[in-house]
Amino acid sequence: MKRYMIFAVAAIQFILSGCGSVLMVEVSNPSDIDRDTELIEVSLDDIKSRLKIQDGESFILKDGAVEVPYQQTYDGKVVFPAQLKAQQVKSYRFCKGTPAEVVTKVCGDHYPKRVDDLCWENDLIGFRTYGFKEDAPSGYDIFIKEKAILNNSIDAAHEEECVVTAADRTMAARDVMCKKFYDVRTFGAVMSTGKNAGQVRGPIQLTFARSVDPIMTSEHSITRMAVATEKEAEKQGGDNRTMGRKATIPYGLYVCHGFISANLAKQTGFSEDDLQLFWEALKNMFDVDRSAARGLMSAQKLIVFQHNSMLGNAPANKLFDRVKIEKTTEIPRSFSDYCVTIDRDNLPEGVEIIEMI
């Protein structure tokens, strides 16, 4: 269970007390912030060998006089949660004993999971690619698409007559790319390779989506009852199967924030029609790009703060704070387990709230 280590490496010290063998695990938090429910792992073999655990025997873990729940993993580790203040050092004690019964309340959902913005952009582009009819208007092609050779598109822009005759061919090629490709004029692109079409700052930017409540993925084994080559079949003696893994989460509600710059839209040629397509993509993108990995993922809310000035009428973070999400149950397992409210009182002048979903 490897992860980014926030704590220093746990120092393991074995001591003997008057009541039998004890294994001390010292955990330190060298950072300047408190760490709540961090996951610590210790080798199960080390625990068994140093406590001289025999078949049928068990052990307990204590933080002072308080027993701490732990879990044994499939790869021979013992993991347990630790809470430390900034710069704190704490000792945990393993010893023989029967662990107290632990009532599972969070199903191992300890750590936040996020979805990066590339996933959103890819799904938006996927919606565009498969959502239009065959007679779709020009100007809605996609620059960053699967198996594309980017320099070919950039070089083709330089062959346009308006670029060949332009004083600044790079800027002219940039304008052609914005006009032809929806994702370029929407999200921006770096096109300084090949014959060079410069760089574009897109008017739409999306943050990393983050889960409202901490979650943890579960990993499942899957079996394909076939192999790819004759050599694999011979090696397995005709058994012909391939093992794989798939990760799932019980449920996660993610929040993503987006920003649309009217000033940058003017520079790239991003139009009102483009914006309407973007809204449609946000509302429907998961319905046209289903997969086993994403399951029943869907957009639940789309809340837009519309300003009547190009530079905006209020700070975005203040407007985002008006949206509140609260749990209605201890362990959420569906969107109905949350309550989403919007504070509409005393809105800044020139700002309108639009609920598109």
pLDDT tens-digit profile of 166-223? 999 999 999 999 999 999 999 999 999 889 999 999 999 999 989 999 888 888 888 8
- The answer to whether residue 126 scores a pLDDT higher than 60 is no
Under 8 Å between Cβ of 12 and 28: no
Q: Provide the pLDDT for residue 189.
A: 92
Under 8 Å between Cβ of 186 and 203: yes
Confidence of residue 10 (pLDDT cuts 50, 70, 90): very low
Where exactly does CATH 2.60.40.1180 map onto the chain?
11-96
Tell me the HSE value of 211 on the side-chain side, using a 13 A CA sphere: 19
CA distance 216 to 214: 7
Question: Which residues on adjacent β-strands are paired with residue 35?
Answer: 84
Tell me the HSE value of 256 on the side-chain side, using a 13 A CA sphere: 23
Under 8 Å between Cβ of 276 and 320: no
Q: Please, which residues have CB within 8 angstroms of residue 224's CB and are 6 or more apart in sequence?
A: 241, 242, 243, 244
Q: Is 355 left (phi over 0), alpha (psi -120 to 50) or beta?
A: beta
Q: Provide the pLDDT for residue 110.
A: 37
Under 8 Å between Cβ of 258 and 117: no
> Vertex 200, ends 196 and 205: CA angle to 5°?
150
Tens digit of each residue's pLDDT (9 = 90 or more) over 95-114 = 888 888 876 554 443 334 43
Quote the CATH superfamily of domain 11-96: Golgi alpha-mannosidase II (2.60.40.1180)
CA distance 29 to 87: 5
What share of the chain in percent tops pLDDT 90? Answer: 30
Tens digit of each residue's pLDDT (9 = 90 or more) over 272-318 = 888 988 988 888 888 777 777 777 888 899 999 999 888 889 999 99
- The answer to whether residue 15 scores a pLDDT higher than 60 is no
Of 321, 282, 322, residue with least CA distance to 298:
282
**Global model pTM greater than 0.85:** no
- The answer to whether residue 62 scores a pLDDT higher than 70 is yes
